[in-house]
Amino acid sequence: QVQLQESGPGLVKPSGTLSLTCAVSGGSISSSNWWSWVRQPPGKGLEWIGEIYHSGSTNYNPSLKSRVTISVDKSKNQFSLKLSSVTAADTAVYYCARTGPISVTTGYYYYYMDVWGKGTTVTVSS
Amino acid sequence: SSELTQDPAVSVALGQTVRITCQGDSLRSYYASWYQQKPGQAPVLVIYGKNNRPSGIPDRFSGSSSGNTASLTITGAQAEDEADYYCNSRDSSGNHLFGGGTKLTVL
């Protein structure tokens, strides 16, 4: 079964760039799925950051779009997140997740994020 | 609006039935997916589509939808169901949305 594992520095300085990688195992990143990044500030809810398809197509949260870059490395079966100009507000647990394609049934669309990494904590502090 | 609204907290007596709701305009076009998150753990998908459960999710979890409201129902709540629950959809631009989460307490 597919498993995801986030990795990257746990501490980033203010104004710096947060860089994380999500390794995909047990399956191919070139499957018919999108691959997402989601974060959760301490004590708060989930926030979608963005997603990427194996072709390199991306979608980003409009509120973060100017600072986010998501890329894919098919040779390593992994995808990555870069978030620039970070502040303390970017302190969070960062998750990667497999996002299924959009389907339609009984006149409604639906999709789901069915596989999640365990998450990695990133603290922005000097 | 491009938001999903959930009640912050809900409680249920052990063995009783509880409904957790999620409201938003996007739910007129999308079925919500629902995630359970226990402290210190990653979210787990519990319901998706019209009313589908991933393998391993107990059948006491069910989903429904009407108008701009999606509901997650737990029939016969167990102590291990105490967790935060999040609904998820997309807005008209295709951006993912999460509700603010509902903290479920099993009494």
The pLDDT tens digits for B54-88 are 999 999 999 999 999 999 999 999 999 999 999 99
Q: Are A110 and B31 in contact (CB < 8 Å)? A: yes
Report the pLDDT value the prediction gives residue A102, as an integer from 0 to 100: 86
* A86 DSSP assignment: -
Helix (H, G, I), strand (E, B) or coil at B28: helix
Best mutation target among A108, A118, A120, A121 (most B Cβ atoms within 10 Å) is A108
Tokens of A61: 């949260």
Give dist(CA B34, CA A113) in Å, integer: 9
**Nearest beta carbon to residue B42 from set A61, A99, A117:** A117
Best mutation target among B3, B95, B102, B103 (most A Cβ atoms within 10 Å) is B95
Give dist(CA B68, CA B64) in Å, integer: 11
The whole-angstrom distance between A5's CA and the closest CA on chain B is: 12
**What Cα–Cα distance (Å) separates residue A44 from each residue in A12, A77, A93?**
20, 31, 10
Give dist(CA B2, CA A26) in Å, integer: 35
Report the pLDDT value the prediction gives residue A29, as an integer from 0 to 100: 95
Per the CB < 8 A criterion, the answer to whether B71 and B64 are in contact is yes
Q: Does B65 touch chain A (CB under 8 A)?
A: yes
Give dist(CA A98, CA A59) in Å, integer: 14
Report the pLDDT value the prediction gives residue B8, as an integer from 0 to 100: 97
Tokens of B20: 């957790």
Q: How many A×B Cβ pairs under 8 Å? A: 74
- List residues of chain A with CB under 8 Å from any CB of chain B: 36, 38, 45-48, 51, 59, 61-62, 95, 99, 102-103, 105-106, 108-114, 116-119
* pLDDT tens, residue order, chain A (126 aa): 999 999 999 999 999 999 999 999 999 999 989 999 999 999 999 999 999 999 999 999 999 999 999 999 999 999 999 999 999 999 999 999 999 888 888 888 888 999 999 999 999 999
Report the pLDDT value the prediction gives residue B25, as an integer from 0 to 100: 94
Give dist(CA B18, CA B35) in Å, integer: 16
- Chain A contact set for B33 (CB, 8 A): 110-113
Give dist(CA A125, CA A12) in Å, integer: 6
Q: What are the tens digits of pLDDT across the range B26-59?
A: 999 999 999 999 999 999 999 999 999 999 999 9
Strands (DSSP E) found in A1-126: 3-7, 11-12, 18-25, 34-40, 47-52, 58-60, 68-73, 78-83, 92-99, 103-105, 108-110, 113-116, 120-124
For A94, the closest chain B residue by CA position comes to: B42
Give dist(CA A87, CA A98) in Å, integer: 27
The whole-angstrom distance between A50's CA and the closest CA on chain B is: 8
Close Cβ partners of B34 (under 8 Å, ≥ 6 residues apart): B20, B45, B46, B47, B48, B61, B63, B70, B72, B85, B86, B87, B88
In terms of C-beta density within 10 A (0-12 exposed, 13-18 middle, 19 or more buried), how is residue A3 classed?
Answer: middle
